[in-house]
Amino acid sequence: MKIYTISGLGADSRLFQNLQLEGEIINLEWIQPTQYESLKSYALRLAEKINKEEKFVLIGLSFGGMVATEIAKKYKPEKLILISSVPTRKELRPLYRFIGQTQINKLIPTMTMNQNAKLLAKIFGTKEVAVLDAILKGSNPRFTKEFINMILNWNNSQIPENIVRIHGEKDLILPCPQNPDLKIEKGGHLIILDNHKEVSDFIDQKLNSNQD
């Protein structure tokens, strides 16, 4: 079965580099967003890369999980796996929702996006500073700014079927929900890097049980 992965905000498939799964992993690389495009519109355009004539699994990380949620609402994957992500607007921090309502994020210069890997590593709760720095240097700040606009204006309230949630207990970016399917003790936002074996084993377990 094909497993499609969607990375986090401003990042690429390198965040999934340590993920070891039984299946064909296909990374959905970002496409050019249009100015002020909605998250739903962007997700459905990205979904054109998916072969819907055969069964598939979606794995979304952080912002990629929100994109995967919008895809799953329409195309019904066998499993929707969210890592360090949220499926609805109400789970975003109140501050994020406030910024979206006031639109003050539009005042932030594009050039300030994707800077200071050491600071972001502390916020994300990861020791993988070198990996994060390489990803940030290769990312497109204009994409990042448009993706932030999408998050802040996202209004989804529908939770798709067959959802599996994996979250770090100490996530400062998107706080851990009360009852995720897997809670990584002391894990931060980038458990996909720091706890990749535990995450991989749990996903394989879920996918194998789905085939029984």
Q: 123-175, pLDDT tens digit by residue?
A: 565 665 666 666 666 567 778 888 888 988 899 999 999 999 999 999 988 89
Rounded to whole angstroms, the Cα distance separating 175 from 188 reads: 9
Question: Binning pLDDT at 50, 70 and 90, where does residue 11 land?
Answer: confident
- Report whether pLDDT(209) > 90: no
Please state the domain count of the chain. Answer: 1
pLDDT-derived band at 8 (thresholds 50, 70, 90) equals confident
pLDDT value of residue 139: 66
Model confidence band, residue 46 (pLDDT cutoffs 50, 70, 90): very high
Decide if pLDDT at 13 tops 60. yes
Averaged pLDDT for residues 195-202: 96
5 beta partners: 27, 59
Expressed as residue numbers, the domain containing 30 is 2-211
Q: What are phi and psi of 202, to 5 degrees?
A: -70, -40
Letter for the amino acid at 96?
Y
Contact 44, 70 (CB under 8 A): yes
**Tens of pLDDT, residues 63-120:** 999 999 999 999 999 999 999 999 999 998 765 554 445 454 454 444 444 455 555 5
Residue 46 and residue 28 in contact, taking contact as beta carbons nearer than 8 Å = yes
In the beta sheet, which residues pair with residue 59? 5, 81
Q: What's the confidence (pLDDT) of residue 108?
A: 47
Which residues, including other chains, have CB under 8 Å from residue 200's CB and lie 6 or more apart?
18, 19, 20, 21
State residue 92's pLDDT score.
86
pTM: 0.85
- Residue 167 belongs to domain with CATH number: 3.40.50.1820
pLDDT for residue 31 is more than 90: yes
